[in-house]
Structure 1
Amino acid sequence: MGLAERRKTLGYSQEKLAGLLGVDRTTVGRWESGRIEPQPPQRRGLAIALEVSLQELDALLTELRAAGQEATGQQSSDHPSAGDPDEMIRREFLRIITVSGALTALPVDEAEALTEGVLRGMPADFERMNSHLWQVYQLARSKGSVYPVIRDQLTTLNEALAASRGSSRPLLSAAADLLQMAGEVAFDGNRYTDAAASYSLAASVSKDAGTYDLWACALVRHAYVDMSEQRYRQAAQMLGAAERLAGRGDRDLSTRHWVASVQAEAYAGLGDLTACERALNQAEKVRDLTTEGTNGGWLRFDGTRLAEERGARYVQLGRLDLAEATLKTALAQTALASGQSYRRRGAVLTSLAAIGAKRRDPDQVLAYGREAVSLARASASGYVARRLQALCDEFGPLSRDHRVAELGAEIATLSTP
């Protein structure tokens, strides 16, 4: 039985199933034809809607993939049009890599000799624009709304790189910065492939620019993609490389402390409490920095979120005794924070709901889970939606409570762009 047959057996039209999952009807049609596959977060909701296990769903998708390749001669007919935003940004990524590779091949003395006049003022302009875009990104409830501006900035930056005959390093640094922001938008929208691609490109361009802190931060962000799919060992390896790069970077920046904070999450995923706490304690040393350790853009780690990070790690490790008090302190901080982050507060609420699920306390699950769902809808944050979908896996026997079941149904319908 294929996806379409299973859907029809349950009495769903493509429109109805699409509405339940928060996707377009054409997306369901492409799934059923085997031309594309649902993203990992979408699979959980699709399995619930079709009343099959994840293993059964994977088997159906494998059959559809083979059928789709046979029907298209091993090539998908579902190519994006020339004006498709995703395809456009992919082309911009490739152009940056192509141009940057050619420019960095110039001898250093020749590049420096050509710097005067040709690049006068331009790198500083890009740096200022990127800084502004990061502020817009942080304040935006819907991170995807920043996407078109990033694409336009990439186009302008490509033109500057193509016209440059001088030292390309300042422009490459600006490109690496912008690529990390593009990756953040993709990651928040659950577009893992695009996020990983942009982080990889950011790392490559950072290497060409010789900026170790930017390079390390790109690897940290890439590690989040691995952890979102529970590949904690791979993430730990990536973070080990980031740690070594950060050690070669600017000691006045907080890069190495951010690396440690994210390493704590990987260690928690591996069930290593000792390593997790050691990494968290290393991250706490960010408070010892005597100068401004962040730039408000690609490096924003200042330690203000360590309470919620520590609490979330204790939840991962099953140490509920340590987690709840820490998370309640973090929740109070997000309520008082200027320009409150919906994504940040939603993550803390979800962690507190997870504690309730582990304690088999439906009232705690509902109190925190419902508010997190409201924030996920208000912000259209794929990150919060993804955290809530993972929460459903913790419900267990609580799913027999009709209120918890209703909450699970609401979570299943959250839109993940």
Structure 2
Amino acid sequence: MGLAERRRALGYSQEKLAQLLGVDRTTVGRWESGRVAPQPPQRRGLAAVLEVGLHELDMLLTLPRAAGQEAAGHQSSDPPSVGDPDEMIRREFLRILTVSGALTALPAEDAEALAEGVRRGVPADFARMNSHLWQVYQLARSKGSVYLVVRDQLTTLNEALAANRRNARPLLSAAADLFQLAGEVAFDGNRYSDAAAAYSLAASVSRDASAYDLWACALVRHAYVDMSEQHYRQAAQMLGVAERLANRGDSNLSTRHWVASVQAEAYAGLGDMAACERAMDQAETVRDLTADSANGGWLRFDGARLAEERGSRYVQLGRLDLAEKSLKDALEQTALVSGQSYRRRGAVLTGLAAIGAKRRDIEQVVEYGREAIALARSSGSGYVARRLQALCDEFGPLSRDPRVAELRAEIAVLSTP
């Protein structure tokens, strides 16, 4: 049985299924024909509507693709849909644009001098621009608003690299930095394919520049894509490579500590508490470093989030007593003073709601869940939306309560692409 057969067996038309999932009918048609696959945020909703597990959904989706591959000499003549977000982003990254958009984000007194430096391909000016863009990204409530500026800067970097091939290494480092920011923007918008592509490019360019810390950080970010789809073993393997690279990097930077922190998440996903705690203990030694161990751009790990990260790992491992203490400590630290704090506070609130779900405490689920939803709405953060979507998996029989059912419905709307 394929996807279309399962849909018909449940009595749904393509239009009805599309309506339930908040997508266009043609999108359902492309899924059923095997031309495109649902994005990870859509998979959970599709599986729920079709009343199957994620593994069964994979089987339903595989059949039309296999049939299409076996049709001898047959290739679809349909062009890529202009409405596919991944395809639009890919085209935009390849389009030749100017740096004018990036310059509008700078203070007026800096713009003229920096514009001249960028035109001449001065690596230090690219580094300054990148640092500024990371700050804009961190402060932006809607992370997607930074995309156009990042795209313009990437184009200008490409042009500078073409004109400065003999002294390319500093420019390659700047490009690796910027590709990581591009990946962050895509990842926050639930565009996993583009995030993975950007992180892969960042890793490749970092390797060419022999920039081991940049390289390791690109792999860490790529591991987050794997973990967002619960591929914890794959993430752990990639993080093992990142660990080796970080050990070859600058010992004054916090790269290896960030790697350890994310390894703890992968180990928690695999259910290995001993390895998780060892990794968290390693991450906490970041406090032994100097104040400038993080650069605020492609490397931002300074230990400020350790309480919430430890709490989230304990939630994954089912140690609710330890998790609640860590997360409540973290909640006190996340005053809403920046766009970055919206994401952090949203993650902490979702973790506390998950603890309530595991304890079957409806009041706790609703209290923290509603505040997290409000933050996700105000920030447009795909990251918080993903965390809330995962929270729904914890509801179980609580979903029969009208308040929890309403919460689930609000999360479903929030998560609709």
TM-score of the superposed pair, with normalisation by structure 1: 0.86
**Structure 2 letter corresponding to 1:400:** R
**Structure 2 letter corresponding to 1:43:** R
Is the 2:140–2:339 Cα contact (8 Å) retained in structure 1? no
How far apart are the structure 2 equivalents of 1:41 and 1:339?
A: 23
Please name the residue that 1:86 is paired with. 89
How far apart are the structure 2 equivalents of 1:280 and 1:64?
A: 44
- Deviation string 1:363-412 (CA, Å, 9 cap, x unpaired) is 11111111112222222222211111111111112122122122112222
How far apart are the structure 2 equivalents of 1:416 and 1:131?
A: 32
**Structure 1 letter corresponding to 2:91:** M
Identity value in percent: 77
The Cα shift of 1:23 comes to 3.8
How far apart are the structure 2 equivalents of 1:193 and 1:59?
A: 21
For this pair of structures, how many residues does the alignment match?
393
Is the 1:381–1:416 Cα contact (8 Å) retained in structure 2? no
The Cα shift of 1:221 comes to 0.7
Decide whether aligned partners of structure 1 residues 141 and 27 sit closer, same or farther in structure 2, where only a CA change above 3 A counts: farther
How far apart are the structure 2 equivalents of 1:337 and 1:4?
A: 51
Is the 1:19–1:413 Cα contact (8 Å) retained in structure 2? no
Decide whether aligned partners of structure 1 residues 78 and 341 sit closer, same or farther in structure 2, where only a CA change above 3 A counts: farther
**Structure 1 letter corresponding to 2:80:** H
How far apart are the structure 1 equivalents of 2:146 and 2:363?
A: 37
How far apart are the structure 2 equivalents of 1:195 and 1:316?
A: 24
How far apart are the structure 2 equivalents of 1:132 and 1:235?
A: 30
How far apart are the structure 2 equivalents of 1:395 and 1:72?
A: 48
Alignment of 1:46-195 (within 5 A): 46-66=46-66, 70=71, 73-75=74-76, 77-79=78-80, 85-89=88-92, 91=94, 122-195=122-195
Question: Which of 82-91 and 285-294 deviates more?
Answer: 82-91
Please name the residue that 2:261 is paired with. 261
User: Is 1:224 equivalent to 2:224 in the alignment?
Assistant: yes
**Structure 1 letter corresponding to 2:90:** E
Please name the residue that 2:111 is paired with. none
- Deviation string 1:21-55 (CA, Å, 9 cap, x unpaired) is 34455434433443211112211112223444434
**Structure 1 letter corresponding to 2:88:** P
**Structure 1 letter corresponding to 2:357:** A
How far apart are the structure 1 equivalents of 2:223 and 2:207?
A: 17
The Cα shift of 1:56 comes to 4.4
Please name the residue that 2:328 is paired with. 328
Return 5+ residue gaps in structure 2 as ranges. 97-116
How far apart are the structure 2 equivalents of 1:388 and 1:35?
A: 29
Is the 1:219–1:238 Cα contact (8 Å) retained in structure 2? yes
- Deviation string 1:216-270 (CA, Å, 9 cap, x unpaired) is 1011111111111222122112111111111111111111111111111111112
Please name the residue that 2:214 is paired with. 214
Structure showing greater relative contact order (alpha-carbon pairs closer than 8 Å, 6 or more residues apart): 1
How far apart are the structure 2 equivalents of 1:213 and 1:123?
A: 18
Please name the residue that 2:108 is paired with. none
Decide whether aligned partners of structure 1 residues 287 and 72 sit closer, same or farther in structure 2, where only a CA change above 3 A counts: farther
**Structure 1 letter corresponding to 2:176:** A
Alignment of 1:276-355 (within 5 A): 276-335=276-335, 337-338=337-338, 341-355=341-355
How far apart are the structure 2 equivalents of 1:169 and 1:47?
A: 47
Return 5+ residue gaps in structure 1 as ranges. 94-116
How far apart are the structure 2 equivalents of 1:221 and 1:204?
A: 14
The Cα shift of 1:189 comes to 1.8
How far apart are the structure 2 equivalents of 1:384 and 1:298?
A: 21
Is the 2:366–2:404 Cα contact (8 Å) retained in structure 1? yes
How far apart are the structure 2 equivalents of 1:36 and 1:344?
A: 33
How far apart are the structure 2 equivalents of 1:384 and 1:76?
A: 38
How far apart are the structure 2 equivalents of 1:191 and 1:391?
A: 20
Decide whether aligned partners of structure 1 residues 289 and 305 sit closer, same or farther in structure 2, where only a CA change above 3 A counts: same
Question: Which of 200-209 and 83-92 deviates more?
Answer: 83-92
User: Is 1:36 equivalent to 2:36 in the alignment?
Assistant: yes
How far apart are the structure 2 equivalents of 1:228 and 1:148?
A: 25
The Cα shift of 1:343 comes to 1.5
Is the 1:118–1:166 Cα contact (8 Å) retained in structure 2? no
RMSD across aligned positions (CA): 2.8
Q: Secondary structure at the match of 1:335?
A: coil
How far apart are the structure 1 equivalents of 2:17 and 2:54?
A: 17
User: Is 1:6 equivalent to 2:20 in the alignment?
Assistant: no
Is the 1:22–1:414 Cα contact (8 Å) retained in structure 2? no
The Cα shift of 1:337 comes to 4.8
Q: Secondary structure at the match of 2:356?
A: helix
How far apart are the structure 1 equivalents of 2:263 and 2:59?
A: 34
Please name the residue that 1:100 is paired with. none
Decide whether aligned partners of structure 1 residues 87 and 338 sit closer, same or farther in structure 2, where only a CA change above 3 A counts: closer
Is the 1:135–1:296 Cα contact (8 Å) retained in structure 2? yes
How far apart are the structure 1 equivalents of 2:208 and 2:95?
A: 17
The Cα shift of 1:20 comes to 4.4
